[in-house]
Chain A
Amino acid sequence: EAGVAQSPRYKIIEKRQSVAFWCNPISGHATLYWYQQILGQGPKLLIQFQNNGVVDDSQLPKDRFSAERLKGVDSTLKIQPAKLEDSAVYLCASSLTHRPGQGMAGELFFGEGSRLTVL
């Protein structure tokens, strides 16, 4: 089974430039997440989609970050304009619904991430 695909793996840009990351989740996974992981910290949730609807984007800096999941499959995360503090790894994850009564853990499957360096 193919895992979560992300691209690009690495990106270096200068501050005030824009960047976009792409994610293709595991087939059939309705829930998609974008996390930001700054060096030395745990991942921080930016946005959660359920199909093509946004469930939680409370931690997304909406003045510069945007995300979409058209057709409820692939997703893109955009940063415009980038700041130095946006340097991080951007992780995409997908999952089935957590239904413990049906033996479904709803575990998240993460991609390898996209490492962004802002100079």
Chain B
Amino acid sequence: DAKTTQPNSMESNEEEPVHLPCNHSTISGTDYIHWYRQLPSQGPEYVIHGLTSNVNNRMASLAIAEDRKSSTLILHRATLRDAAVYYCILRDVGLNDYGGSQGNLIFGKGTKLSVKP
């Protein structure tokens, strides 16, 4: 599976936008870009995913570079509850022999986001 590179940590002020970068220079044409986050003492939770076009949902926006070798997760107004480890993951779109999703989520160390009041 293709690898991603993220900064170990970032800091933000409350109510300011946050841009979390991710490099994935070896991404293949069938890889989707997924973002998950993990709040303290909880399991990871899905944030957003995309293939080529920028995506928006209620939690965040995902900006994908034209060559797909990098992407940025954007939190428009950080809150204290957004303090978490954010993981950028590549997931293959194919199906396995059982008809289920082929690509497993392979987590790196992620970016630890701190939000200051």
Contacts and interface: CB of A to CB of B under 8 A. Distances in A.
Nearest to A41: B109
Contacts of A97: 95, 99-101
A107 interface: yes
Contacts, number: 74
Given A43-B44, A55-B98, A105 B104 contact: no
B54 to A, nearest CB: 16
Interface in B47-61: 49, 51
Interface residues of B, number: 30
Contacts of A105: 34, 46, 49
Interface in A31-60: 31, 33, 35, 40-45, 48, 50-51, 53, 55-56
Contact of B101 (A4, A43, A95): A95
B43 A110 contact: yes
Contact of B44 (A30, A100, A110): A110
A107 B104 CA distance: 11
Shortest 4 CB-CB contacts between residues of A and residues of B: A110-B43, A42-B107, A107-B46, A50-B98
Interface of A: 4, 30-31, 33, 35, 40-45, 48, 50-51, 53, 55-56, 91, 93, 95, 97-98, 100, 105-113
